[in-house]
Amino acid sequence: MIERIPNLPGNVLGFSAKGTVTRADYETVINPAVEALLSKQRKVRFLYHLGEDFSGFETAAMWEDTKIGLKHLASWDRIAVVTDVEWIRAAMKVFGFLLHARVRVFQNSELTTARDWVSG
């Protein structure tokens, strides 16, 4: 399940993942929010928190994540991924350079720091 993180600046989209993230989460929450913000401005800052309650992604959700990232490749300004899940941390460090954005990975204990960085 994906929930929107409230009280972020207008150019920042933030989401928190809990349980298993599904394709429907992308289709009904993340993708519409990204499209709506990009209809108003050229660049988006993105905060993605995969906290203690996160248990994984459906394969279709990972594909949706890849598609939205590539569809708007030049539209990302900053991306902060907050997680203690080691394979996600490693993947972001390896593939983050492909994005036309500043990408940083934070531990769950650094959520406030990540929020400040992506908003700054």
Q: For residue 79, give the amino acid letter.
A: I
pLDDT of res. 35: 95
Check: CATH 3.30.750.24 for 2-119?
yes
pLDDT at 77: 95
Please, what are the averages of pLDDT over each run of 10 residues along the chain (120 residues)? 96 97 96 96 96 94 86 89 95 80 95 97
Q: Domain spans of the chain? A: 2-119
Per DSSP, helices labelled H in 9-100 are: 23-25, 31-38, 59-71, 86-95
Q: 44-55 b/e with 16+ CB inside 10 Å = b?
A: bbbbbbbeeebe
pTM as predicted: 0.92
Given this model, what pLDDT does residue 58 score? 94
Phi, psi of 66 (to 5 degrees): -60, -45
Residue 10's pLDDT is: 95
